[in-house]
Every structure is written in structure tokens, then in C-alpha cells.
Amino acid sequence: MVKTAKKAASFRQTVLLDNSAIAELLAGEAEQANGQLRQALRRAARTAFLWEDEAYDLAAAGKSLTELEGIGPFLERRIQQWLEKTPPLVSPPEIRDDFLTLARARRILLNHPNFAEALQGDLHTHTCWSDGTGTVGEMAIAAKSRSYHYLAITDHTKALKIAHGLSEERLLDQGKEVASVNAVLAEKDVDLVILRSAEVNLTPLGEADLEPSALCGLDLVIGSFHSALRRTEDQTTRYLAALRNPAIHILGHPQGRIFNYREGLRADWARVFAEAARLDKAVEIDAYPDRQDLKLGLLRLALKEGTRISLGTDAHHTWQLAFMDFALAAALLAGFQKDRIVNFMSLQDLRSWSSKRRECFSGGRYHR
């Protein structure tokens, strides 16, 4: 009891009522509410992470908080009350802990202007070939407008039926479209290359759902778990198996957490990161705002173990390439230098890293 009170008190002293604190208050109120109000509070809590401005800045400028997405007159009054008289704050439970708001991420990046500028590309994006909405060409235009030099198209693969995952045949067809987009980019002298890639669905045993021969032809492969994500027992074995799968370069959204929905898997993370470092494979910061996976606490551990990281927005629409700010800010906060982040490699170095990871994986067969 005393310990909890102390924790709350120190939290109150160190945390301003920023969007993150407001999100937690909204989520906390949702837990006491029912029906539509509960839904509205939960939705607003989630949306607060995407507000570009701090609510306190809007209020100080005399602007209406209804300018913020998800906030109507009722919630505006509630937030204004909190801003005028700070209510008791508690640190968020695990299921909502360690998420950055966009407003905070942008402040962090403003203090490190050279960091984002040096970014070469996004390594986790979806198109209408699986469950995204943009075509390969539209994603290329969006990547060009962000001055990227490469963009990995990482659509889902066949076991993820709900996301229209690609079979070996459709992945080949997509490759032809990627090649034709690359030909247009080269013809127009645009310094951007679309990488053929995939977000391969991994079984809990770390096995991929596509034939090795199909994965051999790709520039880069992300392996992600999309099932059995609510297991509470230690999952170290499945992570080690995934990393040791010769087809995989990057472990996608490793924890499998979702804001206010799922905590993600447990593992001996130091051991997982050490194995990734030994194999020189990367673990991801999935920048999708609800995911932000790996979380900051684990990123610091990955840094200590010497593990490479890869940044990906997991964009399902062209505009979502902007989510990259969450990953960049998290990498900065965790203390990563550019040389440990795959996305700061030149295209040539990226290809060389990728092909070296495949020395044991040639001719469409696995060699151990």
C-alpha cells in the first residue's frame, strides 16, 4: 500500500499531464464505464497517441480540444478538468505501458535532426497484394516523397488467410510488378529501389509457411508470429527457433503486443537478443502506434546484447509511412547508434548483409 502510494507520488512529480498521461486517464475511466461511453473512452485513449500536438498546448493557445481526433464536447470537458486540476496519476499497467505518443516522438526527433535525415528506408510495409490498400507503385511514390532510397514490400504470406497472405505463385507475380516499378524508377532516374520481401508467417515452432525456394528469391525476409500470442509460459524456444531459421533476416514485432488489448509474449529476452547478435540477424521496432514492438525497456536490453535492429512502420496505407517517427524516437531513446540499425545501411550494404545471412541457405535448400 505504502509502496503503491510512493510510486503514484513520484509519478505525479515527474510526469506532466501530457498526451500519454491523458491517454492513461481515458483508458482508466473506460474501465469504469459501460456501453458506448466505454468504447468512446477506449478509442480516445488509443487515438491520443496519434495527436500531433500536446492537448495542454492547444488549451494554452485557447483552442478547442475537439480539434483532436476522437474528442467531442463531452471528452473535451473531461480533459479540460484534468488539465485545470491534475487528478491522481498512476503508472499504466503492462498492457498500456511503454508506448510513445506522436507528440513526444516528434519532440525527440526535433532534438536530433540528423538522425531522421540519414534514414535510408522503411523495411516493413504492406500493399493491396495482402491486406494493405496501396499498390506497389503508390507505395513507391509515398517512399519517394520521404526521400527514401529503398522500401521493402513485406506482404503477408499464405498461412495468414485473414490478410490474404501470398502463396509462392502470387509472390512471384508480385515480384514481376516490383520489377516493373523498379524499371520505371530507374528510367526516371529516381534514386529509390523497391525491395522484394515478405512478412513470413511463423509457426510457434519458428517454421516459415513458404517454400525455401520462394524465399531465396527475395531481397529480405521478415519472420513474424501471428498466432498463439496469448500464451503466458516462457516462449524463448520459439524465438530461438525463428532466429535460427536460415530464411529469416528480421524478427518482426517480436513481442506481439497490442496497446490495451494484448501484453505480448514472455521470453528470456537477453538470451533471444544474444542469439540474434551471434547470428547477426535483426530484431524489429515495429512502429505501428498500437504495437511499438519491441518496447523501450527491451530495446535497451537488445542494445546491451549488441543486437542489430530494423525499423518498420508496418504501414497498410501510404500515409502510414509517417509512423516511422515512433521507431526512430524509440531507437534514439534506447541509445542505438546508426551503425546498429539496418535502415541506415546503404542499399549495397543492406544487400550484402542480407546475402551473408543466407550463406547457409542456397540453391533453394537449407544447409546447416
Cβ closest to Zn ion, residue 124 vs residue 149: 124
All 3 cell numbers of residue 288?
Answer: 505501428
| Smallest distance, Zn ion to C-beta of residue 73, A | 37
Q: Write the interaction track for Zn ion spanning residues 62-101; mark x where CB under 5 A is met and - where it is not.
A: ----------------------------------------
How far apart CA 79 and CA 71 sit, in angstroms, is 9
Cβ closest to Zn ion, residue 199 vs residue 219: 199
Cβ closest to Zn ion, residue 159 vs residue 270: 159
Q: Beta 121-125 vs 361-362: how paired, if at all?
A: unpaired
Cβ closest to Zn ion, residue 79 vs residue 218: 218
| Smallest distance, Zn ion to C-beta of residue 256, A | 9
Stretch of residues binding Zn ion (CB under 5 A), selected from 10-18, 98-106, 130-138, 309-317: 309-317
Binding of residue 310 to Zn ion (CB under 5 A): no
Binding of residue 314 to Zn ion (CB under 5 A): yes
Q: What 3-state class would DSSP assign to 123?
A: strand
Is residue 167 exposed (0-12), middle (13-18) or buried (19+ Cβ within 10 Å)? middle
| Smallest distance, Zn ion to C-beta of residue 124, A | 6
| Smallest distance, Zn ion to C-beta of residue 146, A | 18
| Smallest distance, Zn ion to C-beta of residue 84, A | 41
| Alpha-carbon distances of 55 from 21, 49, 52, 68, 357, rounded to whole Å | 11, 11, 9, 8, 46
Binding of residue 224 to Zn ion (CB under 5 A): yes
How far apart CA 106 and CA 51 sit, in angstroms, is 11
| Smallest distance, Zn ion to C-beta of residue 320, A | 11
| Smallest distance, Zn ion to C-beta of residue 117, A | 25
Compute the 3-state secondary structure of the chain and give helix, strand, coil in percent, each to the nearest 5. 50, 15, 35
Cβ closest to Zn ion, residue 106 vs residue 317: 317
Under 8 Å between Cβ of 308 and 282 = yes
Q: Which of 24, 29, 199, 219 binds Zn ion (CB under 5 A)?
A: 199
Under 8 Å between Cβ of 143 and 122 = yes
Stretch of residues binding Zn ion (CB under 5 A), selected from 16-24, 27-35, 168-176, 222-230: 222-230
All 3 cell numbers of residue 71?
Answer: 474528442
Under 8 Å between Cβ of 222 and 197 = yes
Binding of residue 155 to Zn ion (CB under 5 A): no
CA 340, 341, 342, 347 torsion: positive or negative?
A: negative
Cβ closest to Zn ion, residue 122 vs residue 199: 199
Residues that bind Zn ion (CB under 5 A): 199, 224, 314
